[in-house]
Amino acid sequence: MGICIALAGNPNCGKTTMFNDLTGANQYVGNWPGVTVEKKEGKYTRDKDVTITDLPGIYSLSPYSPEEIVARDYLLEGGPDAVINLVDATNLERNLYLTSQILNLGIPVVIALNMMDLVEKNGDKIDVDDLSRELGCPIVPTSALKGRGMEDVVKAAIDAARAEKAPASQMKFDAAVEEALVKIEGVLGDKVSPNAARWYAIKLFEAEDKTIADLKLSQADLDAISAIRTSIEDKLDDDAESIITAERYDAISHVVDKTVKRTRTGLTTSQKIDRVVTNRWLGLPIFIVIMFFVYWLAVSVGGGVVTDWANDGISGDGWLYTGNAAFDEATEEYEDAHSQVVAYVENILGEDEESELPSDESQEVLDALAAEEPEALEDDADEDAVAEYEDAMAEYEEAQAIVADFDEQAQASHAVATMEVEDEDGNVEEQSITFADYQKALEVEEPDPSDGTWGLWIPGLGAIIADAMEAADVAPWLQSLVNDGIVSGVGAVIGFIPQMVILFLLLGILELCGYMSRVAFIMDRIFRKFGLSGKSFIPMLIASGCGVPAVMSTKTIENEMDRRMTIMTTTMIPCGAKMPIIALVFGALASGDSSATWYVAPIFYFLGVIAIILSGIMLKKTKLFAGEATPFVMELPEYHMPTVKSILLSMWERVKGYIIKAGTIIFLSTIVIWFLMNFGDAGEGFGLLDPDAPDYMEHSLMAGLGNLLAWIFAPLGFDNWQATATAVTGLVAKENVVATVGIITQLADYGEADPQLWFGFLQMLGGSTAAVVAFCAFNLLCAPCFAAMGTIRQQQNSPKWFWITIGYLCGFAWCVGTMLYQFVGLATGEVEFNVFTVVAIVIAAAMLFQIFRPMPKREEKQEK
Spatial CA neighbour of 101 closest among 83, 88, 89:
83
Rounded to whole angstroms, the Cα distance separating 739 from 577 reads 12
Given pLDDT bands bounded at 50, 70 and 90, which one contains residue 750? very low
pLDDT band at 60 (very low <50, low <70, confident <90, very high): confident
Chain center to CA of 492: 16
pLDDT at 57 over 70: yes
For the chain, the farthest-separated pair of C-alpha atoms sits apart, in whole angstroms, at: 113
**What average pLDDT score do residues 682-687 get?**
76
Q: How far apart (Å, rounded) are the C-alpha atoms in residues 688 and 690?
A: 7
Task: Tell me how far apart the alpha carbons of residues 86 and 634 are, in angstroms, rounded to a whole number.
Answer: 17
pLDDT for the residue 749:
46
Residue 653: pLDDT over 80: no
Lowest mean pLDDT among 455-469, 637-651, 657-671: 657-671
Q: Sorting pLDDT into bands at 50, 70 and 90, what band is 657?
A: low
**Are the C-beta atoms of residues 100 and 111 closer than 8 Å to each other?**
no
Radius of gyration of the chain (CA): 34
Q: Could you tell me which residues come within 8 angstroms of residue 470 by beta carbon, excluding any fewer than 6 positions away?
A: 479
Q: What is the pLDDT of residue 576?
A: 64
Q: Place 864 in a pLDDT band, splitting at 50, 70 and 90.
A: very low
CATH fold of 175-265: Helix Hairpins (1.10.287)
Candidates 613, 620, 615, 516; CA nearest to 562 is 620
Sequence-distant (6+) residues with CB within 8 A of 251 are 100, 171, 172, 173
Query: Residues 565-584: what's their mean pLDDT?
Result: 78
pLDDT of residue 597: 43
C-alpha dist (Å) from residue 747 to 364, 365, 625: 13, 15, 47
Q: Show the DSSP H helices in 514-577 as ranges.
A: 515-527, 537-543, 547-552, 560-570
The residues near 264 (Cβ < 8 Å, ≥ 6 apart) are 122, 123, 124
- Measured distance CA(99)–CA(235) in Å, rounded: 28
**DSSP conformational letter for 573:** S
549, amino acid identity: P
The predicted pLDDT at position 358 comes to: 57
Residue 703 has pLDDT above 60, yes or no: yes
Q: Find the range with the poorest average confidence among 258-262, 301-305, 515-519, 804-808.
A: 301-305
Q: What is the pLDDT of residue 301?
A: 62
- Within 641-740, strands assigned E span 679-681, 686-688
Domain with CATH 3.40.50.300 in the chain: 3-163
* Residue 109 confidence (pLDDT): 95
Q: How far is CA 579 from CA 282, 480, 584, in A?
A: 30, 27, 9
Residue 754: per-residue pLDDT:
52
pLDDT of residue 260 exceeding 60, the answer is yes
pLDDT exceeds 90 at position 368: no
CB atoms near residue 696 (< 10 Å): 16
Q: What is the mean pLDDT of residues 772-800?
A: 85
Cα separation, 369 vs 362, whole angstroms: 11
* pLDDT value of residue 587: 64
Residue 862 has pLDDT above 50, yes or no: no
Measured distance CA(669)–CA(576) in Å, rounded: 19
Instruction: Tell me how far apart the alpha carbons of residues 334 and 205 are, in angstroms, rounded to a whole number.
Output: 84
What's the mean pLDDT in 376-390? Answer: 79
Q: Does the pLDDT of residue 604 top 70, yes or no?
A: no
pLDDT, tens digit (0-9, with 9 covering 90-100), for 834-847 = 999 999 999 999 99
Asked if 181 and 198 count as a contact pair (C-beta separation under 8 A), the reply is: yes
pLDDT of 187 > 70? The answer is yes
Q: Is the pLDDT of residue 36 over 60?
A: no
Report the half-sphere exposure of 549 (CA within 13 A, side-chain side).
Answer: 28
Q: How far apart are CA 570 and CA 535, in angstroms?
A: 12
- Lowest-confidence range among 36-50, 253-267, 343-357, 823-837? 343-357
Tell me the pLDDT band of 595, cut-offs 50, 70 and 90. Answer: very low
**Helix (H, G, I), strand (E, B), or coil: what is residue 53?**
strand
Q: Are 566 and 573 in contact (CB under 8 A)?
A: no
**596: pLDDT confidence band, cut at 50, 70 and 90?**
very low
- State the Cα torsion 353-359-361-366 to the nearest 10°: 130
How far out from the chain centre does Cα 211 lie? 38
Of 650, 656, 651, 653, give the one whose Cα is nearest residue 17.
650
CA distance 350 to 362: 7
Q: In whole angstroms, give the CA distance from residue 563 to residue 543.
A: 15
Residue 752: the pLDDT is 47
- In which residue ranges of the chain is CATH 1.10.287.1770 found? 175-265
Three-state SS at 833: coil
Distances (CA, A) of 85 to 59, 202, 439: 12, 20, 80
Q: Output the pLDDT for position 804.
A: 92
Which is more confident, 399 or 460?
399
CB count within 10 Å of CB 748 equals 14
Residue 583 has pLDDT above 60, yes or no: yes
Q: Rounded CA gap, 253 and 615, in Å?
A: 45
Q: Structurally, what CATH architecture does the domain formed by 3-163 represent?
A: 3-Layer(aba) Sandwich (3.40)
Distance CA 505, CA 715 (A): 44
CA atoms within 13 A on the CB side of 351: 17
Task: Give residue 562's pLDDT.
Answer: 80
Choice between 112 and 377, residue whose per-residue pLDDT is larger:
112
- CA 33 to chain centroid, in Å, comes to 24
pLDDT: is 526 or 137 the higher one?
Answer: 137
Residue 686 has what pLDDT? Answer: 81
Q: Which residues contact 683 (CB under 8 A, 6 or more apart)?
A: 699
pLDDT tier at 202, thresholds 50, 70, 90: very high
pLDDT at position 450 is 80
Task: Report how far residue 159's alpha carbon sits from residue 471's, in angstroms, rounded to the nearest whole number.
Answer: 65
Quick one: pLDDT band at residue 50, thresholds 50, 70, 90?
very high
pLDDT digits (tens, 9 = 90+) for 517-560: 787 777 776 777 666 677 777 787 777 767 877 887 787 676 77
* pLDDT, tens digit, 9 for 90 and up, residues 62-116: 877 777 888 888 998 877 999 999 999 888 888 999 999 999 998 999 999 998 8
Q: Are 533 and 556 in contact (CB under 8 A)?
A: no
Q: What is the pLDDT of residue 644?
A: 84
* pLDDT greater than 90 at residue 153: yes
CB-based contacts of 864, cutoff 8 Å, min separation 6: none
826, pLDDT greater than 60: yes
Tell me the average pLDDT across 761-784.
83
Q: Residue 369 and residue 477: Cα distance in Å, rounded?
A: 30
What was the pLDDT predicted at 861?
A: 40
**Looking at residue 454, what is its pLDDT?**
81
Which of 277-286, 522-531, 582-591, 763-772 bottoms out in mean pLDDT, i.e. has the lowest? Answer: 582-591
Name the least confident of 79-83, 112-116, 447-451, 664-668: 664-668
Contact call for residues 715 and 822 (beta carbons, < 8 A):
yes
CB atoms closer than 10 angstroms to residue 798: 14
Per DSSP (E only), the strands in 218-298 are 260-261
**How large is the average pLDDT for residues 593-617?**
66
How many angstroms separate the CA atoms of 256 and 250, rounded? 10
What ranges make up the beta strands (E) of 360-500? 417-422, 428-433, 457-459
Q: Give residue 449's pLDDT.
A: 82
Sign of the Cα pseudo-torsion (532, 536, 541, 546, in order)? negative
User: Bigger pLDDT: 396 or 598?
Assistant: 396
**What pLDDT is recorded for position 496?**
63
